[in-house]
Amino acid sequence: MKKVHNFSAGPCILAPTVFEKSAKAILNYNDTGLSLIEMSHRSPEFVAIMEEARSLVKEVLDVPAGYTVLFLQGGASLGFLMTAYNMMGDHKKAGYITTGAWAKKASKEANFVGEAVIVASSEDKNNSYIPKGYNIPSDIDYLHYTSNNTIFGTQFKSIPETSVPLVCDMSSDIFSKKIDISKFDLVYAGAQKNLGPAGATLYIIKDSILGKSSVAIPTMLDFKTHADKDSMFNTPPVFSIYASMLTLQWIKEIGGLEEIEKRNNAKAELLYNEIDRNPLFEGTAAKEDRSYMNVTFVLKDDSKKEKFDELWNKANISGIKGHRSVGGYRASIYNAMPIESVQVLVDVMKAI
């Protein structure tokens, strides 16, 4: 089988050991004679998987005491609305930093529960930078931002300083580097960028916010509902949680987030150095705000496009077509992407 270098923005590339163990579990989980996906989610086998997955999240991210970890469904898109329902307080206002399509969608959902106040935005330059020097109102119930922008290739390099509760959608860069969870009241992330297959959404929730919303919450959208049942209020996305557990095991085995961050930095620097060196290419994001997960760039000479596309196709490179909002190319270099694959892309860029 030919080696394909998968730079797709999502679903994500996963470590080979995760694929291998997942495939075996689909046929026969731990010699039980049952497939993982046909076992009861109440069985001792799956309860153990759920407990280990949640425990590994706390261990790998160094989550402090006083936080609950949940694996739920609905993706980050449902998280947009769950955030507003569970975090909206007496002010009935929430602050949003909109730096891309997903951050803007998150702010839109908040308007179903209260008022979304746009604290800062980068729309004026097609979301090619991270806003700085903005003022955060004191009369908002929480501040929400999206840490990494898969479409536009920008990434927050520091956590916003604020006196109000802080919420972050970390769907596309969670587990890619060390973060200080204690600065957040809520972190959520769809699994399909850096953690596992689509289907599960990770929530890390400060216990003090559970059951404290000032609005009536539908049962399924209430974090407390799921916290009280250890993520088992309804049937969980079994396979996605299992693969996420395997990914967390892999991260731990190779040296944790310190090693992951080192690898991710090396991959990003290799690719960005070629973009900056090669007169045929240009990055689309402000240099100080460049994402180390999603590298966006354009070919400056359109006459070279046919040749470049031919070369990367011949090199078995997949998934680098840019999003229509930006154009050009996008190379997503998530945790499991080996630096050897990035080198293949760089070699193609040099050969054009």
Kindly list the catalytic residues.
102, 169, 193
Q: At 181, which amino acid appears?
A: I
Closest CA relative to residue 10, chosen from 248, 199, 209? 199
Closest CA relative to residue 46, chosen from 58, 30, 61? 30
- Cα–Cα–Cα angle for 206, 210, 216, nearest 5°? 145
Which tokens go with 298? 């354009």
d(CA 91, CA 206) in angstroms, rounded, equals 20
Which tokens go with 119? 């604290």
